[in-house]
Amino acid sequence: MELSGKRVLVTGAGGFIGSHLVERLVELGSKVKAFVRYTSDGNIKNLKELPKDTLNKIEIIRGDLKNYDSVKRATEGVDIIFHLGALISIPHSYVDPRDFIETNIFGTLNVLQAAREYNIKKIILTSSSEVYGTAIYSPIDEKHPLQAQSPYSATKISADKIAESFYRTYNLPIAIIRPFNTYGPRQSMRAVIPTIIYQSLTTDKINLGSLAPKRDFNYIKDVVIGFIKVAESENSIGKTINISSGKAISIGELVEKIKSIINKEFSIETKEERIRPEKSEVMLLLGNNSEAKKLLDWEPTYSLEKGLAEVVEYISKNLDKYKEERENI
């Protein structure tokens, strides 16, 4: 499906991945509606960082995924939906699981019901590699069992399965994209890479949780291309597709890579409050991307070193933003 000229709704448009996707869709000539969570101060989050001429081409819609009428109004008149809207903080899901259930599960249901009502041509639902839990086998392909090791991952599994049921029951044209750990400019310090980089740029001692877990990191520009290819391909309908590098690195090894890029020595202190509950920690996420290669002709182009260097440069130029964010977390 050609995206140029198509009317596209992006939920979660103010988020890290959402803002990059919106920017790319505008570049491709799509007519974009950007759905952001309503706040009294009108905050559009990461969309603020888009060039003014790009922002002027976007229709910003403020609402709440939990409110069906709000979602339905945003959906009217669009051809394609990219559903990225979700609560994503795993630690916060331990504290307030109900909010995650209401937003991630019922919010997704609202999107699917609205899509069905308006006969949307394609819905791309954003999953998470966290649904796999700690690997039973590796690399993880799309047939790997789903394991809810946190309330967050439980809500993402539920959303995926509801979407699958709408595809099978109502023949709704749904594709599920399952990115592994995405990183890049604009990412919040709730993620590990900006946390390490900001601390290493501003202090001589960084505070982290466990250094043992291994993750499959993917640069934002590669991930956005994955979203675009899933939308364009007829082969993706009814499928779940991993977007992953096929390489895993421990958090401890990641710290050493960042050290070498910044060219600075610093010590590491493990903080108990940053460690997940034992049965909730996912020790290894390493994705098999053969399905993405076969169905989409997609594979990553950014090396971890190149991507990290771009994030270091971005955070170096935005230290005040990250300082304010850290104080508010």
Q: Which of 150, 144, 116 is nearest to 132 (CA)?
A: 144
How far apart (Å, rounded) are the C-alpha atoms in residues 174 and 167?
6
Asked, for residue 280, whether it belongs to a domain, the answer is no
Note the pLDDT of residue 274.
57
pLDDT category at 184 given cuts 50, 70, 90 is: very high
Q: Are strands 214-215 and 249-250 parallel, antiparallel or unpaired?
A: antiparallel
Q: Minimal CA–CA distance to 225: which of 313, 302, 153, 280? A: 302
Which residues are CB-neighbours of 256 under 8 A, at least 6 positions away?
Answer: none
Q: How far apart are CA 61 and CA 279, in angstroms?
A: 39
- Read off the pLDDT of residues 241-252 as tens digits, 9 standing for 90 and up: 999 999 999 999
- Answer whether residue 267 is part of any domain: no
Instruction: Give the mean pLDDT of the chain.
Output: 95
Residue 235 has pLDDT above 90, yes or no: yes
Segments forming the whole domain that contains residue 291 = 7-185+218-245+286-301
CA pair distance 223, 131, nearest whole angstrom? 18
Domain-located, residue 125: yes
Q: What is the pLDDT of residue 210?
A: 86
Helix or strand holding residue 286 (H, E): none
Which DSSP string corresponds to 113-174?
A: HHHHHTT-SEEEEE--GGGG-S-SSSSB-TTSPP---SHHHHHHHHHHHHHHHHHHHH---E
Average pLDDT value for residue range 92-98: 95
Q: Is the pLDDT of residue 183 over 80?
A: yes
Q: What is the mean pLDDT of residues 272-284?
A: 70
197 falls within a domain: no
Number of domains in the chain: 1
The domain spanning residue 46 has which CATH number? Answer: 3.40.50.720
Q: What is the pLDDT of residue 273?
A: 57
Per residue in 188-214, pLDDT (tens digit) is 998 999 999 999 999 999 889 889 999
What pLDDT shows up at residue 278?
64
Question: Omega before 139 cis (within 30°)?
Answer: yes
Taking the C-alpha atoms of residue 80 and residue 213, their distance in angstroms, rounded to an integer, is: 36
Q: How far is Cα 26 from Cα 53, in angstroms, rounded to an integer?
A: 10
The SS3 assignment for 234 reads helix
Residues 125-138 have a mean pLDDT of 95
**For residue 282, pLDDT beyond 90:** no
| Mean pLDDT (whole number) for 282-310 | 96
Instruction: Write down the pLDDT at residue 100.
Output: 98
182: amino acid identity, one letter? T
* Residue 209 or 234, more confident: 234
Residue 108 resides in a domain: yes
pTM value? 0.95
Indicate if the pLDDT at residue 266 is higher than 90: no
Q: Give the 3-state secondary structure of residue 250.
A: strand
> Looking at residue 329, what is its pLDDT?
58
Q: What is the largest CA-CA distance in the chain?
A: 57
